[in-house]
């Protein structure tokens, strides 16, 4: 965020919320246009090759690609995109007047905002109570916040046999869960699975340990 020609403020990403950022951009900036959003990560030629080579898909790379194929494919590269897009070390190298983390915005905004104004030599003209009330309204609108943490919990529930409701927002949430399960040597019987399970128990019945 440029305050003026002489000041730059850097907002640092946090590893535990990278899926939150990705969903937020997908819905709010790219308006849920899955194919165009994916093509921001790679070329169409690479996408077509990967789907043909690994899933035998020979159709057009558009919204007719079966959802289960898109989900499984995304699960193999999603965290690589996170590593490149939300690398806190790269953000921290930016020459800036002030830095704060995304969690400062969620958990410590009144104090962080005051410190930010001080660093930028700006005078606050609004009282702390008003700032806090506006912040509470902001928090109510952040439906993607904590989705990565919830996905982590869903995977823990699957592994531990705990039945819980699964609430997801995007195919990327589904892909992230599939990728996490794979890290635990657990695969999903996903051929034809276009509707993702709505409970961890349903998901558990679809899992298996590859040989």
Longest dimension (CA), the chain: 64
pLDDT of residue 35: 98
Residue 127, CB half-sphere, CA atoms under 13 Å: how many?
A: 2
Q: What percent of the chain has pLDDT over 70?
A: 98
More confident residue, 116 or 1: 116
Mean local confidence (pLDDT), 28-56? 96
**The token pair that represents 178 in the structure block:** 């599939």
The predicted-structure confidence for 161-178, as pLDDT tens digits, reads as follows 999 999 999 999 999 999
Summarize the chain as % helix, strand, coil (round to 5).
55, 10, 35
Does the pLDDT at position 2 exceed 50?
no
Does the pLDDT at position 31 exceed 50?
yes
How far is Cα 62 from Cα 36, in angstroms, rounded to an integer? 9
pLDDT of residue 4: 52
Q: Residue 3: pLDDT band by 50, 70, 90 thresholds? A: very low
How far is Cα 208 from Cα 204, in angstroms, rounded to an integer? 8
Average pLDDT over all residues of the chain: 95
pLDDT of residue 5: 57
How far is Cα 197 from Cα 195, in angstroms, rounded to an integer? 6
Mean local confidence (pLDDT), 135-156? 97
Q: Residue 12: pLDDT band by 50, 70, 90 thresholds? A: very high
Does the pLDDT at position 97 exceed 70?
yes
pLDDT of residue 7: 86
The neighbouring-strand residues paired with 165 are 199
């Amino acid at each position: 965020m440029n305050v003026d020609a002489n000041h730059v403020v850097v907002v640092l990403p946090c590893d535990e919320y990278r899926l939150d950022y990705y969903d937020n951009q997908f819905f709010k900036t790219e308006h849920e246009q899955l194919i165009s959003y994916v093509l921001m990560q790679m070329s169409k030629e690479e996408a077509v090759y990967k789907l043909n080579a690994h899933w035998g898909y020979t159709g057009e790379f558009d919204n007719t690609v079966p959802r289960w194929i898109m989900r499984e494919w995304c699960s193999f590269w999603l965290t690589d995109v996170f590593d490149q897009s939300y690398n806190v070390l790269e953000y921290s190298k930016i020459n800036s007047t002030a830095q704060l983390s995304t969690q400062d915005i969620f958990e410590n905004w009144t104090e962080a905002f005051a410190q930010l104004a001080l660093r930028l030599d700006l005078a606050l003209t609004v009282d702390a109570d008003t700032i806090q009330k506006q912040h509470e309204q902001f928090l109510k609108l952040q439906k993607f916040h904590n989705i990565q943490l919830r996905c982590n919990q869903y995977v823990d529930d699957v592994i531990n046999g705990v039945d819980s409701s699964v609430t997801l927002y995007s195919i990327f949430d589904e892909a992230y869960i599939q990728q996490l399960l794979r890290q635990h040597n657990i695969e999903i019987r996903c051929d034809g699975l276009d509707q993702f399970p709505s409970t961890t128990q349903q998901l558990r019945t679809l899992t298996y340990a590859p040989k």
